[in-house]
């Protein structure tokens, strides 16, 4: 049935977060801090690997770089659009609303919004979300989203063990985002070329790297406000295909 992939993904996040929250009860703060730094390093390298894959190619035995201008344009335009909309603040307000609705206070409340925003960005950014949702909407084949569910479920266990219950609520924006992609799949599919998917993954990986930086060094980059950067490859593909 169409949509089961997103439902499974949401369920994996809820279950994984619950496990992480239960595990966190027996962890002292120094353990949580070290785990957070370790997870931040892992996220940075995941993002770095995807970014380098999108930039580096081997031609005639020589290592060459590409997509540099696409990267600069995507991040610059994305930052302007994101700051104008102030996506990060909207995500934080959504997290604050959930926090107040649940009356979460004390130590758990301190990291609620951070956990919600960081986890939401991590599970929503990436080619698997886009391609998997469209595949689910077109054919009902949710195999890719099932695989993503396992990955996200494991990731949120670690997130929730250090950042708490806010991570669990990242299932809400994920459900909205992937659900909309699934519903609109038939309209998007004709424009989804291999090159576009590669470029989306490339820019998304850079944003994932930024999430890792924030996890280790504190909130240095407004990653949420960079989200529109993933739209730039779409316009780039349209211009290159139909205009140039």
Tens digit of each residue's pLDDT (9 = 90 or more) over 25-80: 767 778 878 888 888 888 888 889 888 888 888 777 777 888 889 999 999 999 99
Among residues 219, 218, 222, 192, the alpha carbon closest in space to that of 207 is found at 222
Between 59-68, 79-88, 110-119, 172-181, the lowest mean confidence (pLDDT) is in 59-68
Instruction: Give the burial class of 224: count Cβ atoms within 10 A of its Cβ; 0-12 exposed, 13-18 middle, 19 or more buried.
Output: buried
Q: Catalogue the E-assigned strands of the chain.
A: 56-59, 62-65
pLDDT of residue 53: 87
| pLDDT at res. 175 | 93
* Structure tokens that stand for 148 in this block: 């993503």
Following CA atoms 100, 101, 103, 105 in sequence, which dihedral angle do they give, to the nearest 10 degrees? -40
If you average pLDDT over residues 9-28, what whole number do you get?
A: 88
Dihedral angle sign, alpha carbons of residues 80, 222, 203, 154: negative
Separation between Cα atoms, residue 228 and residue 219, nearest integer Å: 19
Q: What is the pLDDT of residue 6?
A: 93
pLDDT of residue 107: 56
Quick check: 15 pLDDT over 60? yes
Count how many domains the chain has: 1
Provide the pLDDT confidence category of residue 14 given band limits of 50, 70 and 90. very high
Query: Which residue range(s) make up the domain with 13?
Result: 4-58+65-242
**Which stretch of 10-24, 70-84, 218-232 has the lowest confidence by average pLDDT?**
218-232
Q: Would you state the pLDDT for residue 76?
A: 95
* pLDDT at residue number 38: 86
Confidence of residue 231 (pLDDT cuts 50, 70, 90): confident
């Amino acid at each position: 049935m169409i949509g089961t992939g997103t439902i499974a993904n949401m369920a994996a996040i809820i279950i994984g977060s619950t496990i992480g929250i239960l595990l966190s009860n027996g962890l002292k703060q120094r353990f949580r801090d070290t785990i957070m730094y370790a997870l931040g390093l892992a996220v940075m390298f995941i993002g770095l690997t995807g970014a380098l894959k999108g930039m580096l190619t081997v031609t005639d035995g020589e290592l060459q770089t590409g997509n540099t201008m696409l990267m600069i344009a995507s991040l610059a335009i994305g930052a302007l659009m994101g700051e104008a909309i102030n996506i990060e603040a909207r995500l934080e307000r959504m997290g604050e609303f959930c926090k107040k609705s649940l009356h979460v206070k004390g130590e758990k409340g301190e990291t609620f919004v951070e956990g919600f925003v960081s986890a939401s960005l991590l599970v929503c950014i990436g080619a698997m979300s886009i391609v998997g949702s469209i595949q689910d909407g077109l054919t009902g084949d949710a195999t890719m989203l099932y695989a993503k569910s396992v990955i996200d479920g494991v990731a949120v266990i670690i997130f929730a063990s250090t950042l708490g219950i806010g991570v669990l609520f990242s299932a809400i924006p994920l459900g909205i985002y992937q659900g909309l992609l699934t519903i609109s799949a038939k309209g998007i599919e004709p424009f989804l070329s291999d090159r576009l998917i590669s470029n989306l993954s490339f820019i998304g990986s850079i944003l994932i790297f930024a999430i890792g930086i924030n996890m280790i060094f504190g909130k240095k980059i407004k990653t949420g406000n960079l989200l529109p950067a993933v739209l730039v490859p779409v316009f780039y593909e349209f211009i290159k295909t139909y205009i140039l």
